[in-house]
Amino acid sequence: MSISDSCAQLHNMLERLPLFSYPFDTAELPMNGIYFFYEEGELCDHTGLKPRIVRVGTHRDGNFRTRISEHFLPDERKMKFTADQPAPHDRSIFRKHVGRALLNKAGDPYLSVWELEFTTRKARDAARHLRNVQKEVEIEREVTQILRQTFCFRFIEIPEQANRMGAQGLESAIIATVARCQVCAGSPKWLGIYAPNSKIRESGLWNIQHLNSLPLSDSQFEMLHSATAQS
């Protein structure tokens, strides 16, 4: 089976699953799984123009709902951060990628500060003087608006962490399959074309890891079939 055929099979398999958009009830989400994001205006032509996968992600045990919430940020209290605290994009690489693209598109020099990570006290002490919290809040709000208004997602429940993560996990194989598919390219209007990281621009995915992993194997497809049948 070619990479494009595998990618088409994956997309068709996921089409049978419910589609979630903001706002959603986190109680309807699993404790463990793999999620697939779609973005308004981004299509593939496997079997007629349908939404293409633009990001694949997973998490450590029991953290699925928290991970999705970190992306969409339903808790507005997390916007009340100071220079002594990490911003929401420090907890979500997805938000960080989208913010990078926005800043790069605008030619905004604050991109160099956005790139920094402030999750540790040492990092905050070293670069606190560079931060403009008011500006970060504005960027975070724009990222939140984009995610809530233009992104939606599906998921498959995968209870075992070893089946989700790592070099032999489904996440890496799925990302590699979609990234190498010649049919799933970003559109000319895709925000990702402004991403500073060429891996995002060239793969058409808001992912930078696992792009060169092994694609989905027959046994992994069987696992996916079983998981989608139960989701």
Of 42, 39, 2, which is closest to residue 154 (Cα–Cα)? 39
CA distance 218 to 20: 28
Number of domains in the chain: 2
Model's pTM, two decimal places? 0.96
- pLDDT at residue number 230: 76
Q: Is 41 helix (H, G, I), strand (E, B) or coil?
A: strand
pLDDT in tens, 16-73: 999 999 999 999 999 999 999 999 999 998 878 899 999 999 998 899 999 999 999 9
- pLDDT at residue number 126: 95
Domain's final residue, options 97, 121, 148: 148
What residues make up the domain containing 104?
Answer: 81-148
Domain's final residue, options 148, 176, 192: 148
Catalogue the long-range contacts made by 213-218 (C-beta closer than 8 Å, 24 or more residues apart): 213/167, 213/172, 213/173, 213/175, 213/176, 214/172, 214/173, 214/176, 215/3, 215/6, 215/173, 215/176, 215/177, 215/180, 216/6, 216/10, 216/170, 216/173, 216/174, 216/176, 216/177, 217/173
CA distance 170 to 168: 7
DSSP state of 228: H
Residue with tokens 């589609």: 19
- Amino acid identity, position 151: F
pLDDT in tens, 118-150: 999 999 999 999 999 999 999 999 999 999 999
CA distance 183 to 193: 16
On whether both 58 and 87 belong to a single domain, the answer is no
On whether both 13 and 115 belong to a single domain, the answer is no
Q: Is residue 105 part of a domain?
A: yes
CA distance 140 to 128: 18
pLDDT in tens, 99-109: 999 999 999 99
Domain's final residue, options 128, 148, 168: 148
